[in-house]
Amino acid sequence: MSSDAEPIVIPDAPDTARAWIGPAAASTSVMPSGPSLPRAIAIIALFLVGFVGGIAAYGIATAPPPTAGYPGLAAAGEPQVAHDLASAMSANDVKGVADRIDPSAAQALANALQPIVEVTSVTYLGTVEQDGRELAGYVVRGRDQTRTKQMVGLVLDVAGGQIVGINE
């Protein structure tokens, strides 16, 4: 089609609609004339520069997260008395557990292990120490009265080579 084609006439159409439909609508050219590859490269490069610049500006303008307000505790090795108790618990050795803790601590241990009635494993997590007191963390896995698998956390408070608290 040539650009000399007659405009399409739509009866009862407003004059603005007639202006949009005409010889230009019959044109088959969809690509702009002139050097389009350099222009496309420049647009993509500008986008990438802006994207990278935005990421850099965000990294500079964003403050790092606040640090904890509490000082950290020093890491320590597993206390021997806590290790012995954990070994006795893993072996389901009731007498061995009773020999390593006093009766009040035994009641605290029973409360801490609820709902577990049969221990299947005890996993040592770590120990922290401050002023001669050590806190040893464990995960105890076992089964409850209905034989359902359960898991509880256990923290043993050790001072002077003795267990002085459980989950306190």
- The encoded tokens of residue 127 equal 């120990």
Cis? peptide before 66, omega within 30° of 0: no
Question: What digits encode the pLDDT tens for the residues 106-149?
Answer: 889 989 999 999 999 999 999 999 888 999 999 999 999 999 99
Question: What digits encode the pLDDT tens for the residues 61-110?
Answer: 998 877 777 778 889 999 999 999 999 999 989 898 888 888 888 889 98
pTM of the model: 0.59
Helix residue spans in 14-78 (DSSP H): 15-20, 36-61
